[in-house]
Structure 1
Amino acid sequence: MLSGLELYIGGVLLLVGAVFTLLAAVGVVRLPDLYTRMHAASKAGAVGGGLILLAVAVLSQDAAVSLRAIIGMVFLWLTTPVSAHLLARASYLSGYKPCKETMIDELAPNKEQNSAS
């Protein structure tokens, strides 16, 4: 049987994970371009999903389920930033430019280096 402390910790983790996931969804809907949307989805979505999996690990009374949840959480936290980076780089190289509010574009060709060579 779960003690009161485990229930509260699991409930808080689940609630915070759901809030992060909701923030990721709002960011995907509200932000102006692909890159900022991808940033919101990858950062807040990975944290939200990881916290929900951590809540599953805390609330399950089975070691196998807890181990799978923790492995899934680590896998999510390792692969989400890498895949978001690769998708953003591929979109940039295929011609999708950031929105006009973007201040720094480090991948844009440097005009000074092109004119000197």
Structure 2
Amino acid sequence: MVCQAKDFQQEHKKEMRAVQDSMDVLSGKWKIPIISSLCYYNKRRFSDILNDIEGISNRMLSKELKDLEINKLIKRTILDTQPITVQYELTQHGITLKTIINNLTEWGIEHRKKIIEQ
């Protein structure tokens, strides 16, 4: 019985560590909206993402895009155009977040309905 409780505790700790790892990568006010923008549009330029997300500054968007690129969730491509164009898209790893984004969207819609009903 003690062994089972210990196994359960160990498993729970692993799961909590995984949640914390996820939150570390996706934390902050802007990362989820940036990922959402890239989920709905396959490829976006910096200015497109900036226009999609109300309230984000150029500097903050640049910082968050770099963080997401470091974590291999987005890919940055420099196009050979005049002037030079930079576009962003989700990596294969980043695409795995689409289900989570869709679930958050559905939950947010239902939550807003519940709050407005009160």
TM-score (norm 1): 0.32
Larger proportion of strand: 2
Higher relative contact order (CA 8 A, sep 6+): 1
Larger proportion of helix: 1
